[in-house]
Structure 1
Amino acid sequence: MATRQNSAKARPARKPRSTGAGPAWRRWLRWPVRIVGGFLLLSVAMVLIYRFVPPPVTLTMLLDRNGITKDWMSLSEMDPDMARAAIAGEDGKFCLHHGFDAEAIEKAIRHNERGGRIRGGSTISQQTAKNVFLWQNGGFFRKGLEAWFTLLIEALWGKRRIMEVYLNVAETGIGTYGANAGAMRYFGHDASTLTKQEAARIAAVLPLPKKREAIAPSGFTRRYGATIARRIEIVRQQGLDACLK
């Protein structure tokens, strides 16, 4: 009797089931990727919200032991000379750059290398990003975050909103935040009726708000305020505030 042949074909050896764990380095890499991804999404969401909603409070305000005095005023209500004064004193190329002024940064670096009074090269956009989303002190890490938020607000807010937020969160005196609160503190009226001299004096306080006063200024603050007052008209005539209209 003929031997019965096994008709079944030889089956290939089964591969062990994958546990899905993968190499160890891939598992460790997931957490940094998730953290970075979460931060990016959260930062974009915050910037989008503040595009329409006034920032209720900032880290700088929360860490201020002198308390918080602030009173939000829209840019359309504020005297136009206040924004012009900020441009004249803080960022003459505000309407021309996209968040960063390479020339100003380079000049600041060269100046600081020679010693003396430290000069910053930050634009109004950079200062707004720092004031709203970050803290005042810090090294390269904070500067890196500042650059990221600057790019975001330039892309998602636009110049007019950046200026509006800046003039409402910038420190204008001890425990005082915003041009409107500064006007009430120094001059007894709101920022809708500022004179050129008053707007210039508030702008002169912005670099060192805890050491300068807009009332009866003396020395450097008085001279700087007078310089800004003269520049306000130049800003208007040359259309350096055109992006705010």
Structure 2
Amino acid sequence: MEPFEGLWNLKELQSLNEVRATKAFVANLGNLSQLRVLSIADVRSSHCSQLCNSLSKLHQLTRLEIRASSEDDLIHLDDLTIPNPLQVLDLYGRFSDGTFESHFFLNHGNALQLISLKYCQLTENQLSQLSKLSNLTYLDLTNAYNGQQLNFYFDWFQKLKKLLLKDLSHVSQICIHKGALLSLEYLCINNLQELRDAPIGVNFLTSLKEAYCIDMHADFASNFWKAKLDHIPNVYSTTEGK
């Protein structure tokens, strides 16, 4: 929705969803000191400095969603200093390289339980930094990684229970190293058209209860059922368009 004049005077407001970023709203956002849930869309690079400043005043915030205005707008969160540890974070769009080294992530990152990253072009180094968030139980990567090989190394994502990998158009191989994703119970791989084989090391995922492979290449579907999947109680696979 469009932020109406005086929205920032609703001092007791606790949840605000799908509000469009404007210069005036971002500047006055800090007045909504009781906000617990915030979803802000159409964020431009030019908004980010003031947005970080305003977010630093929201002491009750537990869930935050930021959507970039376009793929060309870089979300700068290096100066993010939210005083209250967030539980849920959703980022839509590209963000700066130093995001996971920001004050917020260094001091409160381990409180995060759920993260959704979409259209953000993660590097392997950023994924490594993300893997260190010790209490993360849910991770959604949608069109969020441009590499050809997606690795999950030893000791990565130790408490993660649910992993969604969707629209990773360049990924042709997934490799799960022994000691990674030890608590994973649910895995969904959706529309990875360059992926032809089941993830290497899927047999290491001894806690996995459900595996879904949706809208995949026909070669993947054929090879997937040849992999070592007997330890997974529920397995489901479809090819593109079926």
The TM-score normalised by the length of structure 1 is 0.24
Larger Rg, first or second structure (1 or 2): 1
Q: Which structure has greater strand proportion?
A: 2
The TM-score normalised by the length of structure 2 is 0.24
Q: Which structure has greater helix proportion?
A: 1
